[in-house]
Amino acid sequence: GAGVSQSPSNKVTEKGKDVELRCDPISGHTALYWYRQSLGQGLEFLIYFQGNSAPDKSGLPSDRFSAERTGGSVSTLTIQRTQQEDSAVYLCASSLPGTSGGVTQYFGPGTRLLVL
Amino acid sequence: QKEVEQDPGPLSVPEGAIVSLNCTYSNSAFQYFMWYRQYSRKGPELLMYTYSSGNKEDGRFTAQVDKSSKYISLFIRDSQPSDSATYLCAMSRSQGGSEKLVFGKGTKLTVNP
């Protein structure tokens, strides 16, 4: 079956521009996570969506970062006024909640963002 | 101190060797311990997860958790060149979603034919 998909796979932008990154989770997965993977920092949690509950935004590094999830499915991560330190791989994951499902997060291939 | 520490390596072994990968952590609230494998330019994929202390075996892979020492390990027996990847440990406090995974930085493993 189809896994988690992300687009674009690569994005090069200029400092100060806004970017939007898209994630399509596995069908039926109600939980969706965004992580950032940068050199020397490993994978860092950004934001979590679960059903209709308020998202957990505790990992967003600044107010330039925001995310939404429409219709409980597709999610968009937006970075405004990009900075060079935003360059990283942005990974999306989805999972089923409940017993044994919550820890099994399925990751997409990521979007590689380069801010010049 | 970071919540999860993992030696980034790199680690290079000959084919057939036993590989030991380790992580330490500081947050005693962690209950679920996971190992992910990430090939170059791909997303991480879950290898195994363990709840609380103990061992879990799956084929050539064995995961161990020692909560008293806050130390987890992944052993790979009869390592193969296809095992060459970055291995990430991850932890969470609960399994019911709503809990972010906290990752180590990953250990890059190369298995030489």
Confidence of residue B93 (pLDDT cuts 50, 70, 90): confident
pLDDT at A100 over 60: no
Cα gap B38→B108, rounded to integer Å: 9
Q: Which residues of A touch B41 (CB under 8 A)?
A: 109
Confidence of residue A98 (pLDDT cuts 50, 70, 90): low
pLDDT at B81 over 80: yes
pLDDT at B107 over 60: yes
Tell me: cis bond preceding A8? Omega within 30 of 0 counts.
Answer: yes
Per-residue confidence (pLDDT) for residue B96, from 0 to 100: 52
Confidence of residue A99 (pLDDT cuts 50, 70, 90): low
Structure tokens of B96?
């019911």
| Mean pLDDT across A54-65 | 93
Q: Which of B92, B102, B106 sits opposite A103 (nearest CB)?
A: B92
| Mean pLDDT across A100-106 | 69
Q: How high is the mean pLDDT of chain B?
A: 91
Confidence of residue A28 (pLDDT cuts 50, 70, 90): confident
Please report how many Cα atoms fall inside a 13 Å half-sphere around the Cα of residue B15, on the Cβ side.
5
Q: Which residues of B touch A97 (CB under 8 A)?
A: 96-98
Q: Which residues of A touch B90 (CB under 8 A)?
A: 43
Per-residue confidence (pLDDT) for residue B71, from 0 to 100: 95
Q: How far is A71 from chain B (nearest CA, A)?
A: 19
| Mean pLDDT across B60-82 | 96
Cα gap A30→B63, rounded to integer Å: 28
Cα gap B25→B27, rounded to integer Å: 6
Percent of chain B predicted with pLDDT > 70: 94
pLDDT at B97 over 60: no
Q: Residue B38 class from Cβ within 10 Å (0-12 exposed, 13-18 middle, 19+ buried)?
A: buried
Q: Which of B46, B103, B106 sits opposite A104 (nearest CB)?
A: B46
pLDDT at B54 over 90: no
Q: Residues B47, B50, B53, B55: is their CA dihedral positive or negative?
A: negative
SS3 label, residue B2? coil
| Mean pLDDT across B89-100 | 73
pLDDT at A7 over 90: yes
Structure tokens of A14?
């200029």
CB contact at 8 A, B95 and B73: no
Per-residue confidence (pLDDT) for residue A102, from 0 to 100: 55
Q: Which of B36, B90, B99 sits opposite A102 (nearest CB)?
A: B99
- Cross-chain Cβ contact A102/B96 below 8 Å: yes
Per-residue confidence (pLDDT) for residue B95, from 0 to 100: 58
